[in-house]
Amino acid sequence: MGVCMNVAQTGRKDRVWSTGISMKLILKVSLAMISVVLATHPGASRVSGMPPQQLEVEGVVFETSIARKGVYLDLVGAGLLRYRVVFKAYVASLYLERGAPASRVFMDIPKRIEIEYFHAISAQGFIKATRAGIEANVSPSVRERLSSRIDALDRTYRDVQPSDRYAFTYFPGHGSELTLNNEVIGVFEGLDFANAIFSIWIGANPLDRGLKRSLLGET
Question: What pLDDT digit, counting tens, does each position of 80-137 carry?
Answer: 887 666 788 899 999 999 999 999 999 999 999 999 999 999 999 999 999 999 999 9
Q: Is 214 helix (H, G, I), strand (E, B) or coil?
A: helix
- Residue 44: its pLDDT value, please? 37
Write the Ramachandran bin of 170: left for phi over 0, alpha for psi from -120 to 50, otherwise beta. beta
What are the boundaries of each domain within the chain?
A: 23-215
The residue type found at 198 is F
Q: What is the mean pLDDT of residues 7-25?
A: 39
| Whether domain 23-215 has CATH 3.50.70.10 | yes
Kindly give, in sequence order, each residue whose CB lies less than 8 Å from that of residue 86, ignoring residues fewer than 6 positions away. none
Q: What is the DSSP string of 80-141?
A: EEEETTTEEEEEEEEEEETT--GGGTTSSS-EEEEEEESS-B-HHHHHHHHHHHHHHHS-HH
136 class by beta-carbon count within 10 Å (0-12 exposed, 13-18 middle, 19+ buried): middle
pTM of the predicted model, to two decimals?
0.78
82, 89 Cβ separation under 8 angstroms: yes
Higher-confidence position of 6 and 148: 148
